[in-house]
Structure 1
């Protein structure tokens, strides 16, 4: 069993990877919102709503957020990066299967403006990285709210495998919730039922 201190080191490393690699995903989110405003037809990702996993679960709560997760996973929260964050990890490694949420205050901004501010780097510090290749974009429903999903393949030196990362952005009650689902690309579909446990049970304040 790895120490909580080591778990914290892993989490801080992964936050750094996300914040220094993931800005490009917000371009896709903004495209989705622009499409919505122009009345274009958006594809709704229902794949998580239509699957389930027969596995024991636990419930975790922090920062007003509540969700179920597979019993064998490790869940931690931290705010050392300046934003409240929650991590659910299948295992402790840099290539790990994981779910995470970062909470960003909107300070009264609308949904569209909050996402534009994130894209501009005003709410979350980030830089564009060419290692994130966007494959597709969708909308999805989480806790009865529309969320915006971008799916990426990431070939980055931080990882020893090609990773698939789904970034999901949801705005509710003056906060933006940035969520990531991460797994090696070749394993992602196999892990979807476990991600579904989390997504289908998420409740936001």
Structure 2
């Protein structure tokens, strides 16, 4: 009798523990520029409706000076391919003028019938602190959705999974 009662109680406790450990997510939708995404509820969101730019900020710990953030913006691009957009918008020479130690690590490109995607990481320093910016660009017809996620290099692996969760939840219409 006790073992039959014990099994359902243990099962219920495991389910409640798993649900409590799951991160609370919020959803953001921008109907003007045709996208939505999920993000951790504790992150601050700032939107510029005129430009279509949405920025998510990870809460800063006491004494931190470099924000961990993810930004989504939309650009009209009717002139060519996604690779041509990358070549024009992310030219290393321009970035090197701002950040002498600037480098790009290519993460690859995917294509399907409706959407082309290009990903890479940019590495540079701000005030002697190394920063990594994950860049993901998605082209949908004549628009390019630009997702930039930045973090200090020593914390990047901690936040990369969360950044990728937001990026992977991006829904474009």
Using the size of structure 1 for normalisation, the TM-score is 0.59
Q: Which has the higher strand share?
A: 2
Counterpart residue number, 1:137: 106
Q: Residues 149 and 163 of structure 2 are in contact (CA less than 8 Å); yes or no, is this contact kept in structure 1?
A: yes
Query: What do the CA deviations read for 1:18-58 (whole angstroms, capped 9, x no partner)?
Result: xxxxxxxxxxxxxxxxxxxxxxxxxxxxxxxxxxx931100
Q: Distance in 2 between matches of 1:203 and 1:59?
A: 11
What displacement does 1:200 show? 1.8
What displacement does 1:114 show? 3.7
Query: What do the CA deviations read for 1:133-189 (whole angstroms, capped 9, x no partner)?
Result: 22x2112669984421121221123xx621111112221120112211111111111
Query: What do the CA deviations read for 1:102-123 (whole angstroms, capped 9, x no partner)?
Result: 2110136443444444357xxx
Q: Residues 131 and 156 of structure 1 are in contact (CA less than 8 Å); yes or no, is this contact kept in structure 2?
A: no
Counterpart residue number, 1:5: none
Tell whether 2:162 aligns with 1:191. no
Counterpart residue number, 1:128: 95
Q: Distance in 2 between matches of 1:166 and 1:193?
A: 11
Are residues 103 and 72 of structure 1, via their aligned partners in 2, closer, same or farther at CA, if it must alter by over 3 Å?
A: same
Are residues 112 and 167 of structure 1, via their aligned partners in 2, closer, same or farther at CA, if it must alter by over 3 Å?
A: closer
Runs of 4+ in 1 over 3 A off after TM superposition: 107-120, 140-146
Rg larger for: 2
Q: Distance in 1 between matches of 2:26 and 2:90?
A: 34
Q: Secondary structure at the match of 1:72?
A: coil
Are residues 110 and 154 of structure 1, via their aligned partners in 2, closer, same or farther at CA, if it must alter by over 3 Å?
A: closer
Q: Residues 167 and 179 of structure 1 are in contact (CA less than 8 Å); yes or no, is this contact kept in structure 2?
A: yes
Using the size of structure 2 for normalisation, the TM-score is 0.69
Q: Distance in 1 between matches of 2:54 and 2:69?
A: 10
Tell whether 2:38 aligns with 1:68. yes
